[in-house]
Structure 1
Amino acid sequence: MKHRAIGAVLFGVGVLLLALAAGLVFVVTPALTKLPYDLKAATSVAEASGATFLQINNGSIKINNGDLRSTVRVNQLKDETAKLGGDLDGKAVVWQVGQTVDRVDNKELVSAYGAKLAMDRVSGEALKWQGQWLDDTGQRDTGVQFAGQIYKFPFNTEKRDYKIFDRDMRQVRDAKFSGTENIKGIETYRFEQVITDEPLNLDPSRLTALLATFAPGATDAKLVYSNQRTVWVDPVTGSYIKVREVQKKVLTPNVGAPTTLLDADFTYNDATITASADRAKESRNSLQLISVYVPVGLAVLGLVLMIGGLLVARQGAVVTAGEARHRADVPPAPTRYDEPVVDEERPTAEQPAVDREGGPLSDEIPPASTNWRADDEPTVPTQRPASDEREKH
């Protein structure tokens, strides 16, 4: 009975561990492969050396050359996320993003933009949301339609093409998978998006100011935009490890020579790449621990306990059966009434006759009939006559 109880306990614990392993794989892991609701603010910095750029400062419009630094800050808005309803409830998070581009030499601001958007927690894609806006001209554009990948790729990114949203064009373009590359110990997936001479819309007042400065005789112009964007993505978390954008904007008037307003090669600096890789490694380790190592360990231990429980219970059953057989094989000790009556005067094969001498000192018990006297015999023994009296008689 004791073995069976121990076996049942071991088997039950094993089943519990298997259930816990399954829960980690099918419940906890999917929850971890989503953008959290308490994401910490993150900052990335890209630098461009020897860039050509348009700078408007105190009403002065100039084309300058120098080193630039682009800083992007991402914050998750908890309150806005909590207010999401309908199809977005539980599916999306709200991010607010801001970017500034400054000169490295004198810290002067060159350009800036801000945006607020809703992103899918799993795929990282921008979702249609009535509260989204984009401001890169000093006025919020609430009619912008964010779509595709913008600031991250999906968890478990695949080796295929994706669409990346371009802020200047306000449209998505294909980003083709172009191979893998090891960066800071992480095998990243490299995606390339090529935009060539795409026309951009310019605010009429801004176009007039540019023409007055760079093409006084022109009445109209078009602004064409090119960008060769390369992103290196951690395929497990979908995080950007490294980003490079080779941007170019050229103003082409209907009269006069074209003017290059931007020609810059922006790339994440080493500190940003290192920080991005460290965050990705930390997230990777957590995911692998919860989704692989712990479930496998629990499953193996659970199976061992279940098998051990069965063996212990079986051993108990064998021991119990053995004890029962042992008790059945041993005859009960003979009692006084079970012992055969032995007639010492009648020899048998098992008990041959034995010559014994009788006498007052022998241990022989006389027959039961000698223990009783006849009824007609006197109760008082007669006295034996003396020898001389016998002679007289």
Structure 2
Amino acid sequence: MRSRVTHAVLLGLGVLALVFAAGLAFAIGPGVRQLPYDLERTQSVAEAPNATFMQITNGEVKIDQATLRSTITVQPDTDRTADLEGDLDGEAVVWLVGQEVIRTDTNDLVSAYSTSLALDRRSAAALPWSGQWLDTGNERQDVTYSGQTYKFPFGTEKKTYQIFDRDILAAQPAVFVKTEEIEGLETYQFTQEIRGGRQEVPADRLQILLGALIPGATSGQVVYNNTRTVWVEPTTGQYIKVQETQEKNLVADSGQSVKILDAVFTYTDETIASSADRASSNRQLLQIVTMWAPLGLAVLGLALVALALALGLRRGGRHTSPAAIASADTGTKGPVKTPS
């Protein structure tokens, strides 16, 4: 009787472990591999030593040199996320993002922007959304985001992705280059090359720049080049390091040109370390929920089922044979003699 109960308990526990393993792998796991609604506010700081840049102070335009510091802040907009409807409901999250660039010698503001966009919770790519906007300091304007912006997909692959560039308001390809270890993490390096891009500048602002930097010019444009390199932790899709080699030239219709930006922005050591720490923690959580826990439960479940089956077979092997039963029933002990 006891062996029968043990067999049933082991078999039940084994099946339950297998069910939990399947649930973690196929139900809970996919839910973990997506952007949370309660994302913590994060900041990424990059610096550009000895940068050449344009600064406008009290209407005066001048070209200067100093170290620039860029701070990008990302935080969730829970109210706008809750208001999403249709295909976006449950599939997207709204982020509020802002950037400030200052010169480190005086802490004067050089440039700033703020923006709102909707991201796919799984791929982290921008989704079409009527509520997206961009404010570069003049006024809010409509913008159509696409591709990756501030994060890569969970399970990033060694392939080409599209990264949105705010200066040209378009997505351009970022090609996989190689793997590289940073802060003990394997990262995928991607590089995006933008050459001869045109930055949209309001007409009145463009005239101010031309009048100050290229007197006599009546029209022109801002030509933009950027080599953007991102190092991504592939399991989480988080940026570990970012470097941008930016160049902007004010080009007049006469052919005259003035460099208004020449800077190499790179994540600070502190930002790289904190990014790696967050990615490492998130990767461990993902691996536990999506791989190690299901695998462990599956192995445990199979072991318990196998043990239950083995006990069942042993219990079956102990049954008395029919011949022995017959012998016991007749009370005979040995061969039965035939009457003579």
Q: Which residue of 2 aligns with 1:312?
A: 311
2: CA distance, partners of 1:277 / 1:322: 68
Question: Could you tell me how far 1:319 is from its partner in structure 2?
Answer: 2.7
- Quickly say closer, same or farther: Cα 1:91–1:324, change in 2 above 3 A: farther
User: Any unmatched runs of 5+ in structure 1?
Assistant: 334-393
What is the SS of the residue equivalent to 2:192? strand
CA contact (8 A) 1:6 1:313 kept: no
Amino acid at match of 2:65: N
- Quickly say closer, same or farther: Cα 1:327–1:274, change in 2 above 3 A: farther
Matches within 5 A, 1:15-164: 15-142=15-142, 144-164=143-163
- Quickly say closer, same or farther: Cα 1:323–1:193, change in 2 above 3 A: same
Matches within 5 A, 1:1-393: 1-142=1-142, 144-255=143-254, 257-321=256-320, 325=324, 328-329=327-328, 332=331
- Quickly say closer, same or farther: Cα 1:324–1:306, change in 2 above 3 A: farther
- TM-score w.r.t. the length of structure 1 is 0.81
CA deviations over 1:114-163 (Å, ceiling 9, x no partner) = 00000000111100101100011421012x10000010111111111111
Question: Could you tell me how far 1:256 is from its partner in structure 2?
Answer: 7.1
Q: Which moved more, 1:57-66 or 1:155-164?
A: 57-66
Question: Could you tell me how far 1:323 is from its partner in structure 2?
Answer: 11
What is the SS of the residue equivalent to 2:154? coil
CA contact (8 A) 1:3 1:315 kept: no
- Which protein has the bigger strand share? 2
1: CA distance, partners of 2:169 / 2:327: 92
Question: Could you tell me how far 1:293 is from its partner in structure 2?
Answer: 1.4
1: CA distance, partners of 2:58 / 2:319: 99
Q: Which residue of 2 aligns with 1:373?
A: none
CA deviations over 1:229-277 (Å, ceiling 9, x no partner) = 0011111111111100000110112347411111100000000011111
Alignment coverage as a number of residue pairs: 332
Moved over 4 A (4+): 330-333
Alignment identity in percent? 49
User: Any unmatched runs of 5+ in structure 2?
Assistant: 333-340
1: CA distance, partners of 2:323 / 2:232: 70
Question: Could you tell me how far 1:326 is from its partner in structure 2?
Answer: 6.4
CA deviations over 1:152-210 (Å, ceiling 9, x no partner) = 11111111111110101001111111111111111111111111122222211101111
2: CA distance, partners of 1:91 / 1:33: 12
